[in-house]
Amino acid sequence: MIQLGVDAGNGAFKIYGEQGGQETLSQAAWNGNQRVVSTLGLKKTKAPLHIKNSHGSFYIGAGAHDYGRPVENLDVERFNGSPEMVALLHGALTNYQKKNGIFDAPLSIVVGLPQETLTSENAGENAENVRRWLRGVHTWQADGQKYTVSVDDVRIASQVSGGLFDYLLDEKGTFIPARKGAFTREVGIISVGFGTVELLVVRDRAPVQRFTTGTASGVRRLLEILNGQRLYSLGEMDILLRSGQLDTSEALPIWEREVLGVIERQWGSAWRRFAAVLVMGGGALLLPNLALKFNGKGFIPDNPVQAIARGLYKMTLLKKKD
Task: Return the pLDDT at 322.
Answer: 59
On whether the CB atoms of residues 251 and 259 are closer than 8 A, the answer is no
Q: Which of 130, 112, 123, 86 is nearest to 9 (CA)?
A: 112
Task: Return the pLDDT at 215.
Answer: 87
Task: Return the pLDDT at 214.
Answer: 84
List, in order, residues 6 or more apart from 43 with CB less than 8 Å away.
Answer: none
Task: Return the pLDDT at 120.
Answer: 67
Task: Return the pLDDT at 72.
Answer: 75
On whether the CB atoms of residues 185 and 297 are closer than 8 A, the answer is no
| Each residue's pLDDT expressed in tens, for the chain with a length of 322 residues | 999 999 988 888 999 999 999 999 988 998 865 555 445 455 556 789 999 999 999 999 988 888 888 887 766 677 778 899 999 999 999 999 999 999 999 999 999 987 777 766 777 888 888 899 999 999 999 999 999 999 999 999 888 889 999 999 999 999 999 888 887 889 999 999 988 899 999 888 788 889 988 888 899 999 999 998 888 888 889 999 999 999 999 999 999 999 999 999 999 999 999 999 999 999 999 998 999 999 999 999 999 999 999 999 999 888 666 5
Task: Return the pLDDT at 159.
Answer: 85
Task: Return the pLDDT at 70.
Answer: 85
Give this prediction's pTM. Answer: 0.88
Task: Kindly report the CATH number that applies to the domain delimited by 2-321.
Answer: 3.30.420.40
